[in-house]
Amino acid sequence: MELGAEMFLRAFPGKQASYQKHPELFEQLWQEAIERQKGEKIVWVLSFRGQGDKPFWENDPSFRTILRNFPPLPS
């Protein structure tokens, strides 16, 4: 069983992964995931992460933050 919702870009190729532009498509994916997994014991984490586990502002630059402009921490 696949856990969570399908990734936006996989479900809707060619569309920008932007909740601001396509809230109904994101909500459709979330609702489908809920329906598919109801009846299972699941802990839901409510957060918003980017496609492929990267920051979401890489797909939607309208959400740029000042934190993006800081240099990486030394290792």
Q: What is the pLDDT of residue 45?
A: 72
* Contact predicate 43/4, CB 8 Å: no
pLDDT in tens, 8-65: 888 999 998 888 889 999 899 989 988 988 888 888 777 666 666 677 677 777 766 6
Helix, strand, coil abundance in the chain, percent, nearest 5: 45, 0, 55
Where do the domains of the chain lie? 8-69
pTM of the model: 0.64
